[in-house]
Amino acid sequence: MTKWVYSFGGGHDEGRADMRDLLGGKGANLAEMASIGLPVPPGFTITTEVCTTFYANDRNYPVDLEAQVQQALRRVEQASGRRFGDPDRPLLVSVRSGARVSMPGMMDTVLNLGLNDSTVEGLARDADDDRFAYDSYRRFIQMYGSVVLGIDHRRFEEIIEQVKLETNAFEDTALSAQDWRRVVDGYKEMIDREIGNPFPQRPEDQLWGAIGAVFGSWMNPRAVTYRRLHDIPVEWGTAVNVQAMVFGNMGDDCATGVCFTRDPSTGENVFYGEYLVNAQGEDVVAGIRTPQPLSKARATPGETPMESVMPAAYAELLEVRRKLEQHYRDMQDIEFTIQKNKLFMLQTRNGKRTVAASLRMAVDMARDGLIDRPEAIRRVNPAALDQLLHPTLDPRAHRTILAKGLPASPGAASGAAVFNADEAESRAAKGEAVVLVRIETSPEDIHGMHAARGIITTRGGMTSHAAVVARGMGRPCVAGAGGITVDYNDQTLRVGSRTLQAGNIITLDGATGEVFVGSIPMIEPAMSGDFGTLMQWADESRRLRVRANAETPLDAETARKFGAEGIGLCRTEHMFFDPERIGAVRQMIMANDEAGRRAALERLLPHQRDDFISLFRIMAGMPVTIRLLDPPLHEFLPHADAELAEVAEALGTDTESMRRRAAELAEANPMLGHRGCRLGITFPEIYEMQARAIFEGALMVAKETGTAPIPEIMIPLVGMKKELEITRSQVENVARQVFDKLGRTIDYTIGTMIELPRASLTADAIAEVADFFSFGTNDLTQTTFGLSRDDAGKFLPQYAEKGILPKDPFVSIDIDGVGAMIRIAVEKGRQAKPGMKMGICGEHGGDPASIVFCEQIGLDYVSCSPYRVPVARLAAAQAALGTAEDGTA
Ligand code: ADP
Ligand code: MG
Ligand code: MG
């Protein structure tokens, strides 16, 4: 026989906390609390299996359910010394829903069930309080009427208002027993009218009505929508809890409250909560009366803390708090009621908390020995850590919202609105804080994005150029704020009838996607304290090294500050876009022969060398992976006609030749075009110049600091061994020349990015000529799927909606496909070259789920944008420690 019903309380505890799947969260924890000796009113839980069976059988209950409910009810009667339906000492119960995870949309709780025209008299005699009994009865009819019978709550309010009007009362509290009796009569008449049946008087009918309503609510549209949004399977089902009532509304020695065992917003180890004297159930959260603080320490003048008003019950509650934390080893969110100075526990669960609080609690609890360090590391969600690493808007500050877009890159920034990259750069150079506002951005805007404190675009999604680059740079960004119209000619932005000029101050919050008028005070992130402690523990637990993707000194410094152990990807093309150099780059592109190209590259060399020198200084003693030029050359030419003419003049050539060259370089599919090592093979002088700049720079810094950097030269887009062989020997030749000339040498390695399926499949051959592999998972995702990220916005969102792709593969590695490519390359590569160094440098390097994958396949490091370095450090530690428990469900 299946056990459908589990009792708790009254010395008969059949459930436990770890039976949450069967009993739901509420039921499992009520049983657990009862079993550790906390005062829990007796009751029973009807399992989630009944819910699934109910739906599997055309909304019929299992046959033996009724008998099991009867038996459990008898137990509650014994434990409470009352009987269901007894006109003298009636047992009243609450009927509460409770799924595995707390789920808005489910049926609201019905309290005081079991009251009818005769038991209400018994309750009145028993409590020696008519007013209390009739108030309880009308509450019951109201709750049952609205949640079980589906009657609009306004019908009930109208009746109360009518009685108040007739008796000249303003507040509920002014109503007498007689008045509540009239309300009850009014309710019953109204219900009879509305549903064509009298209000059910038999307690058994009431009970089954409420049970049916809980199970029925599992399929109501609100619950269905919530499950869909939160990936909750319909098979989980909900449980029903039936529990003896305790009363917080029997007088001034009664109360009800909700609290957290620690402060859920700061994590401070103080009792945090609210209570109301002489109140029932959800009165505390309903906002009709103002709840009061629990502790004296948290009370302001004029408030009446429970600690002063009910010292004995408060002391008991403190003891419960201690016991609960000792038992659950986590912060608890609890509900309690005090009846005639006696405390009863009605709910506990792991409390939701901010990231800051989760960090503080994890560290405090580990220090106090409540949990161990690995558990402390598991308690903090790495992805959420991001919120702590950027300035945030002061929550107390006044704000005027202007528009809303997508939360593309976290952090907040204020500054003067500017509408083009050059202006952003020149204003920033003068020390002004600017926010770059564009319709959309392109690689030509990089310098302006870098100079800006924050970026706003009116078009584009979470994987638009602006969003991706901003996240990489750690700049706050709001993308696709469609409500804003930018006019580049007028240098204005408009939202409805409101117009802002260039230079007007605006603020954006990249964590929420909001844009505000004017400046708003910010709170700076703190790297020390609990954050520092937890990071140190994480570092001691992880195997994966963590590097950063960085090319500017500022990014490199940020990366070090956040604990990066090297650079995993320095993209040299970003250095080419700098206004000082783009002229030389274009001169090289326009040159007709190798000699012309070499002359232009000669002009670039000192700049590149300086770039590397400043990076190497910051990263002295650490590995720095430098990727040689990757994008196709046409990206460096201007597109607009006006610009073409301007550039032609600067280069001493004519617009027509410029246009012709641009047309020659134009590609149908640049992602698969003349780029990566294909450039190095056709224009060897480009890679030679870059290699020279690297070696000369490294030797200078080695001499200057006494600590040599370790350049790792990375050839992009290799698909064939021969490609790497050729480019590798070019670089080696340059190394020899530089070492000979300067009479000194330095250690370096040459490897490749694995970003083409062919490279993965022939990784054993490629490994013979590579010192390391770095997985360029952005391109590898594009080439494995055969889709271009720039165009994917048109269909990827639908793919997510239709469940074709579970996650955006540019955010989290597609383990089955792209992951298989990586796995193959790791195996083949290490077969050919045991112990070969391998890492990942795509955006995925900062994604916790992808990091777990990197740990599992034995990569040596992950590399991510500087601001994500702490996220990666923590995620790497969690990956090394194994599966994390969910701390806040
Ligand atoms: P929710 O899931 O919305 O929190 P609950 O089932 O916890 O709903 O109940 C809502 C309110 O009713 C809570 O304040 C709870 O403390 C109160 N309550 C539930 N059961 C009882 C009971 N047996 N006696 C007194 N109050 C109760
Ligand atoms: Mg509720
Ligand atoms: Mg509750």
Ligand 3 (ion): residues with CB under 5 Å are 335, 347
Q: How far, in Å, CA of 626 to CA of 569, rounded?
A: 6
Q: How far, in Å, CA of 30 to CA of 241, rounded?
A: 9
Looking at residue 885, what is its pLDDT? 45
Looking at residue 883, what is its pLDDT? 64
Looking at residue 287, what is its pLDDT? 66
What is the per-residue DSSP string for 833-853?
A: STT-EEEE-SGGGG-HHHHHH
Sort 101 into a burial class: Cβ within 10 Å, 0-12 / 13-18 / 19+: middle
Give the ligand with the smallest distance to the CA of 282: 1
DSSP bridge pairs for 499: 494
pTM for the model stands at: 0.82
Looking at residue 289, what is its pLDDT? 78
Secondary structure of residue 528 in the 3-state scheme = coil
DSSP bridge pairs for 191: none
Query: Is the minimum distance from the CB of 347 to ligand 1 under 6 angstroms?
Result: yes
10-residue mean pLDDT profile of the chain (889 residues): values are 96 95 97 97 98 96 97 97 96 96 84 97 95 96 96 94 91 90 97 96 97 94 87 93 96 94 90 92 75 88 93 96 97 96 96 89 97 96 84 88 91 95 89 93 86 93 82 85 94 94 96 94 82 96 97 91 96 84 91 94 95 94 96 87 83 86 89 95 97 97 91 98 98 98 96 98 98 97 92 82 86 95 98 97 93 97 94 97 54
Backbone angles phi, psi at 878, to 5 degrees: -65, -40
* Residue from 111, 107, 113, 96 nearest 30 by CA: 96
Residues with Cβ within 8 Å of 22's Cβ and at least 6 positions away in sequence, in order, are 6, 15, 28, 47, 48, 49, 239
Name the closest-CA residue to atom 15, ligand 1: 281
Looking at residue 645, what is its pLDDT? 84
Name the closest-CA residue to atom 11, ligand 1: 281
Atom number of ligand 1 nearest to Cα 41: 23
Query: Is the minimum distance from the CB of 29 to ligand 1 under 6 angstroms?
Result: no
Looking at residue 799, what is its pLDDT? 86
Q: How far, in Å, CA of 624 to CA of 608, rounded?
A: 15
Name the closest-CA residue to atom 24, ligand 1: 245
Looking at residue 352, what is its pLDDT? 87
Number of H-type helices and E-type strands within the chain:
36, 33
Atom number of ligand 1 nearest to Cα 98: 2
DSSP bridge pairs for 523: 392
Secondary structure of residue 40 in the 3-state scheme = coil
